[in-house]
Structure 1
């Protein structure tokens, strides 16, 4: 097969390959960029594989960085954009079920492609548009099929993260996973516990961001892969429900975890534990906790000014997205955002009075000062008070006198 017109991203990278070939070595575009070109999808990173060894590659260019020299990868910077160029290699001895214990550089493209995960990722592209396909990757692309290169049992034993990549690709591409590959996932699911949670996290989130999440979730559940992910084992029923409810992917990572937390009916404390176990950033944890509270408000038709204020614009959109996915929302997102926009203030800092103003009026610093500001904030948000300095000062003094 030959691609008549190569995408611009490949054309820009061609001087790299031309330089390597002029020195007597082989070089090809490989990986996801080749697959996505054939599928008519946007290209992200352009990766190059070559028969030249790392030191030979470095001798051909003025500006290089050893980004993964032990695995044969050199970043070439001569043409502005950085291009990762990796020497053909074979791998062996995966004691941690993720990284090879030893890497051997070779001159054979076929040997290099033989170590890759799936046939649709084991294609090589020449600068003239010719496709090199040793493992029927083109046939699998046409059939919308994800199939391991060679023996799936061996592929997943080498790198257990490939099982998560399989379900992620199914979700992103709307592909089915080959039965033998599914069987390999079922047999090796337990090896997922050997993989760093951070790596599983990335693949899992990408799966639920894919346009066809049910395609990935189906295999994720049927193979039992879910039970080897942190804290997921008790939620089989909820995941199976999501398989039928999720007709499209989520908008971002916060929406992914908000969806799960709402579907699992987690408390704020449980959300914190789940996301800590998934090695999530503190900001993500806080955002999900806020968004889940808003989902509950939307689902119970108890959205008021204070909830809208506490949630904020971005998380309101996410909360309603999640509630809609779960069939629990009768709200239009635009209406919720309008409700937020109509508030007098959108943060405590926007109050027309400060702690300094209150102290200048004779209110002593201490807990009562904080209580007064909290009272004013809520009264302004709920429309009980106008956000005017004089009005707020009088209200604060009256409030504290009543509490005295």
Structure 2
């Protein structure tokens, strides 16, 4: 294939230094794949016949990032470039790491150990594109295939099963049948992969393409990532507001929400509590009283298990907690604003919109119009700088102490009492008026 990649000058410097000193060297993997697709690569990895100690000799600053696997990082200015010696991975001991690696002198052997054909291409300006495993053809066909036998590749490293689905999501490619079948067969091996690694692949899938959730379901991997979700697959909701089963509703609402990770996670987990709260009335209509509270507990457990950071967990669980709350009046908007703040309230409106759009369309118009009105009310409250929290109250703890209140819990209780009054009646947010109300409270 007559194909030219514009290699950045620092990367070219590393390649040229290796080649001019008698060592084969190529850019390899994702940067080649992205270049063939016409995308700008984020990372530039280099593979070479030179051994790590020979690479170290040639460059001023080298960091020993993964020397036991033949990888060092060459620093050019402030940028680092991974340079890995051609290698053959030995036997894998834990479905993830080779016990040992063996350096080889042949580029084809090095490329043969890689995961997918689209990631097993190499390039330099002298030889052009090196594509022993039909990576270009698979890019044209929009298909994910392993290099060699899929079962062997996935037994070596079980994370590759998730990577296959992630690449499929990011590139909007299909996965070849034998690759998909092997994932189904070996899905249990995912237990050997760290939660952090699973989480990182899952995050990339969620923000790329919701179809990845379907592929995870189809292969049986989804229930390893989100416990209980397999129980939603055939869970009928039997309620006039719903035309989809619980899984279908979850998937659609996840697809419809804005493409931010914590919002995607919110929709994926927002209704899990329905599995534990389903009741039926005399007309065989199902109800799910208290499901938001139960969903919070289940979501928190799932997110902690995957080692999500506290900020993400807090955002997701707060949005789930209030996803079913009724917002209509200006007062209800102000009370919610007091509880969760402006940013999360704007997110909550997005969550409720996605939830409604994934339900029965008969009720959609009025409920979406209501959310538009809620957003307008929120904008008015913000523009008018109406008081919804203690910091905007025209009176503080010291003012209360000055008129005779005791320090401690009582101050907080009175301030919250006054804030409640101001939220209901904004005109009361005046220092003299509030002091008068507080004095009356003190004397009563």
The worse-fitting range, judged by mean Cα deviation, of 73-82 and 61-70 is 73-82
Give the structure 1 partner of residue 285 of structure 2: none
More divergent stretch after superposition (15-24 vs 97-106): 97-106
Contact 2:64 2:73 (8 Å CA) reproduced: yes
Q: Aligned partners of 1:319 and 1:128: how far apart in 2?
A: 56
Select 1:222's aligned residue among 218, 226, 240.
Answer: 218
| TM-score normalized with structure 2 length | 0.82
Partners of 2:86 and 2:106 within 8 A in 1: yes
- Give the aligned partner of residue 368 of structure 1: 410
In 2: Cα distance, 1:257 partner to 1:247 partner: 11
2:309 is the alignment partner of 1:281: yes
Distance in 2, Cα, partners of 1:350 & 1:127: 64
> How far off is 1:17 after superposition?
0.7
The whole-number CA distance in structure 1 between the counterparts of 2:56 and 2:257 is: 42
1:122 counterpart residue number: 120
Could you tell me how far 1:318 is from its partner in structure 2? 3.0
Aligned-pair CA distance for 1:150 = 0.8
TM-score computed with the length of structure 1 as normaliser: 0.89
State the superposition RMSD in angstroms.
2.6
CA-CA distance at 1:258 after TM superposition: 1.0
Partner of 1:40: 38
Deviates more, 1:326-335 or 1:164-173: 326-335
Alignment gaps of 5+ in structure 2: 235-245, 274-291, 358-366
* Distance of 1:225 and 1:173 partners within structure 2: 20
8 Å Cα contact 1:291/1:315 also seen in 2 = yes
What is the total number of aligned residue pairs between the two structures? 397
2:262 is matched with which residue?
254
Mapped partners of 2:123, 2:155: distance in 1: 28
Give the SS at the match of 1:56: helix
Structure 1 CA distance for aligned equivalents of residues 387 and 47 of structure 2:
56
Q: Partner of 2:76: helix, strand, or coil?
A: coil
Q: Deviations over 1:183-203 (max 9, x none)?
A: 010001011111111111111
- Partner residue in 2 for 1:236: 233
Q: Is the 8 A contact 1:29 1:47 kept in 2?
A: yes
Structure 2 SS opposite 1:90: strand
Inter-CA distance 177–28: structure 2 relative to 1 (3 Å threshold): same
Q: Is the 8 A contact 1:294 1:316 kept in 2?
A: no
Which residue does the alignment assign to 2:287?
Answer: none
Structure 2 match to 1:358: 400
Structure 1 position 384, deviation (Å)? 4.0
User: What's the counterpart of residue 341 of structure 1?
Assistant: 382
- Match of residue 304 from structure 1: 333
Displacement after TM superposition at 1:93 (Å): 2.3
Give the C-alpha shift of residue 371 in structure 1: 1.1
CA distance in 2, matches of 1:125, 1:385: 71
Gaps of 5+ in 1: none
Aligned-partner Cα distance in 2 for 1:392–1:15: 71
- SS of 1:296's equivalent in the other structure is coil
Following the alignment from structure 2 to structure 1, what is the Cα–Cα distance between the partners of residues 64 and 3? 32
